[in-house]
Amino acid sequence: MIVVLVAAFMWLLVAALLILRRGRAERNITYAALTIAIAMTLNTDQAYRILERYAGSTNLVTLVADATLMIGVFLLGRAVMKASEHQPRAVQLALGRLTLVTALISAIGTFLLIDRGATTTNFMLELGEQPAAAAYSMIQFSYYAIVLSAMAALAARQLRSSECAQRMPPASLLLGSICGVALSIVVITMDLAHVVRNLNLMADVAIAYEPLHLLTFLFLCLGFASQPAARTMQARSRDRMTRMLVHDLEPIWAAATKARPGISHTEHTSLNAAAPETLLHRQVVEIRDAMIDTRVEFDVSAGDRELIERAERYLLGTGSSDAAPVAAPVRQGQHRR
């Protein structure tokens, strides 16, 4: 049941990413989600039994599903790394191709040593007492722990530098990565307990398996799906703020261009159709030009000056009230562009 839920989560994530990230050139997260969704679907009992009949009924689909999942986790880690800057060397190594290839070769090698028998949908429960089967599982989950630890480090750093709605995606990724590392520890402990036939310990530790499995994918899906959503919300919020500042500066700008006609005097129609942020920038520049031009008389009140400085801070991307305003020094007779 958990596998079916996780597969459903992943296909929902794929659909969400295709909708929210349409038109974006960067597709690594979408490819990662699609790969993991395919892997989890292969692990559902219904799909597994059907494909096993074509694979010779020797549990080869287990290897295909697990290898696909490892590749999907690799792509996921690479997507997080590409979205970050100045990754530590250890993170680059953990999320690198060499680590993936080493893990895949090791997993395939140990899989071939397992006495697999006939098709089973409880692969590790039935075969986990074999050392080769335990090694096969531990290799996979050691790789997941390495990748998710690196992702947790990147998400934690991104969380510290994020604000407001932008904090939700890295927070979710951090929680998902932590749950994934905990899940890996649980599985490795179960593998070791199984191979030494300590079934009581295995049963005790197994209690945490399903909740951690579900939470890992839930938080990771939420984190990746909320990234484009958070950017959309932030863009809309900024657009509203920009339009409000443009509206508030309109009277001051009109007075400034009347006192000192600039490029906006001859391109008024095209400027009105310009992007709000472009228009706001032009307003601030031309108001400042009028303020410092000694050839014209143009004064602003203290309240208007504070509004101009607030618009400048906004364009600079800082909300600090004591941020220095942008000076607009120009030579007489020249226009700022």
The per-residue pLDDT for range 31-73, each reduced to its tens digit, is 999 999 999 999 998 899 899 888 777 889 999 999 999 999 9
Q: Cα dihedral sign for 8, 14, 19, 20?
A: positive
The pLDDT value recorded for residue 118 is 82
Domains for the chain: give ranges and CATH numbers.
2-235 (1.20.1070), 260-316 (no CATH)
CB neighbour burial string for 189-225, b if at least 16 within 10 angstroms, e if fewer:
bbbbbbbeeeeeebeebbebeeebbbbbbbbbbbbbb
Ranges of the chain whose pLDDT falls below 70: 20-26, 85, 164-165, 228-233, 262-274, 318-337
Instruction: Tell me how far apart the alpha carbons of residues 244 and 85 are, in angstroms, rounded to a whole number.
Output: 33
The pLDDT value recorded for residue 165 is 65
Tell how far CA 241 is from the center of its chain: 25
Q: Which of 129, 135, 127 is nearest to 110 (CA)?
A: 135
DSSP string, 56-91: TSSSHHHHHHHHHHHHHHHHHHHHHHHTSSS--HHH
